[in-house]
Structure 1
Amino acid sequence: MAVYLTIATQLRDEIRNHYSHGDMLPSEHQLAKRFNVNRHTLRRAVDELVHDGLVRRYQGLGNQVVGAPIDYALNHPSCFTHNLSKMGLLLDTEVLGCREEPLGEALASRLQLPADTGIVLIRTCRCIDEQPATLMRHHLFNVDIRQMVRFRSGSLHRFLQQSYGYRALRGTTRLRARMPTFDECSQLKIGRGIPVMEIHSRYYLQGSGSLMEYAISISRGDLFEYSVEP
């Protein structure tokens, strides 16, 4: 086995047995001295840990141990803010934009609706413990832009319930893993080696069954582990 892989294996075992979420590893200089290797070899070993999702590298600060992934259930009443708040996580919502526009050809074809169907598009960034975790695009039907520009933080579904009496149920959900774009890396503060999970979700109004929202979320692959309930 290559030297850097041997070091990575030993560090992997030490992280699992002796480190907690948020702990910093010794500096790469200290680790290189400990294992009697050059900095290049040590860095390759740490790269393996980063790719495994066990360590996050911060330029100028060092290498931090990452906690276990968040177990997120994609169930019928699923609501991002509500579900994560129940886990005791500190959440924040940053609204990146809110505007009216037509649905567009691509989504219209997928939803079997006219391309000129009017929607309100809200873009948000959801942060967990002050770290960007998920980018979301909310395509909202049958809402008023004058009301939706008032949404600034918290749960969007709760805002819709308070504003319109809407109660939503999750419908069809599609998931795919992919590598992030440069813009997504910048917004989520991740390297190109960390994959993202892209989730497309339909939400329908409880009672009438009409389409309320088509949401597209881009989440860091190193933070979440998804479970799908029947």
Structure 2
Amino acid sequence: MDRLSRHPTTVYQVIAARLEEELRTVYRCGDYLPSEQQLAARYDVNRHTLRRAVDELVNKGLVQRRRGIGILVLMRPYDYPLHAQTRFSQNLLEQGSHPTSERLLAVLRPANASVAAALGREEGDDVIHLRTLRRVNGVPVSLIDHYLPNLDWWPVLQRFTSGSLHEFLARELQQSLTRRQTRISARASQAKEAQLLEVALQTPLMCIRTLNTCNGSDRVAEYSVSLARADMIELTMEH
């Protein structure tokens, strides 16, 4: 049982604040909160007070009451602005979230036709292929394939295991990447992607293809293909 201040005008607000924090750290979109009866018992309040607390979350668009089912966690998507200097980690930190990224794959491989075209190389040319999984507050949000044509970077990039790839490149190789072009489409998740992103098979994903240049050059230094959960990320473009 959680002990709260008994001030009559603040109890439901305190409960709402605590539940909102749990929504961001414990629950994920699609989960259900405990029943109102269970939550009222947990906070040692009556059902009316508990409902007022839940009303606060409903009004913020964080949860939805589903008649006969329960309280569905919606969560607001994380805002991700698209511009030349966008930095995923920094942007999420500024929103009060905890972004992480782990490397799942690091290999040299022959470029297929689409990768070669994006990088301005010949099909079959060796490129660096990294795959990373990004999480926000522990919840998977995007799976990214990074293709880099400069094989001189390979010895250093083998040491990259987690965190921001672009920050690693700036720190270890003094290479600053800038977004030049972004293409956005949608497709359904396949089995491996669904498993890594912890979503159901055939869940809609945003497919974000990005070309990045380096240190003011027009030459493409990275081609990335990101599969992002549409329920977790909201893209913003300023005009």
**Fold shared by both chains (TM-score > 0.5):** yes
Flag structure 1 segments of 5+ consecutive residues without an equivalent.
Answer: 1-17, 31-52, 56-61
CA distance in 2 between counterparts of 1:207 and 1:26 reads 53
TM-score (norm 1): 0.71
Alignment check: 8 A CA contact 2:130 2:145 kept? yes
- Pick closer, same or farther for the CA change 1:193–1:118 going to 2, 3 Å: closer
CA distance in 2 between counterparts of 1:25 and 1:205 reads 46
From 211, 227, 238, the counterpart of 1:229: 238
CA distance in 2 between counterparts of 1:126 and 1:79 reads 13
CA distance in 2 between counterparts of 1:113 and 1:81 reads 30
From 200, 204, 214, the counterpart of 1:195: 204
User: Which deviates further from its counterpart, 91-100 or 142-151?
Assistant: 142-151
Q: Which residue of 1 aligns with 2:191?
A: 182
Q: Which residue of 1 aligns with 2:81?
A: 73
Aligned residues: 186
Following superposition, the deviation at residue 168 of structure 1 comes to 1.2
CA distance in 1 between counterparts of 2:71 and 2:122 reads 50
Give the share of equivalent positions with the same residue, in percent.
30
From 138, 161, 176, the counterpart of 1:130: 138
Q: Secondary structure at the match of 1:229?
A: coil
From 119, 128, 137, the counterpart of 1:120: 128
CA distance in 2 between counterparts of 1:188 and 1:96 reads 13
- Pick closer, same or farther for the CA change 1:134–1:54 going to 2, 3 Å: farther
Flag structure 2 segments of 5+ consecutive residues without an equivalent.
Answer: 1-15, 39-61, 65-69
Following superposition, the deviation at residue 118 of structure 1 comes to 2.4
Alignment check: 8 A CA contact 1:170 1:202 kept? yes
Runs of 4+ more than 4 Å apart: 18-21
Letter in 1 for 2:92: L
Letter in 1 for 2:139: Q
Q: Secondary structure at the match of 1:144?
A: helix
Q: Which residue of 1 aligns with 2:104?
A: 96
Alignment check: 8 A CA contact 2:119 2:222 kept? no
Alignment check: 8 A CA contact 1:196 1:221 kept? yes
Q: Which residue of 2 aligns with 1:153?
A: 162
Q: Secondary structure at the match of 1:219?
A: strand
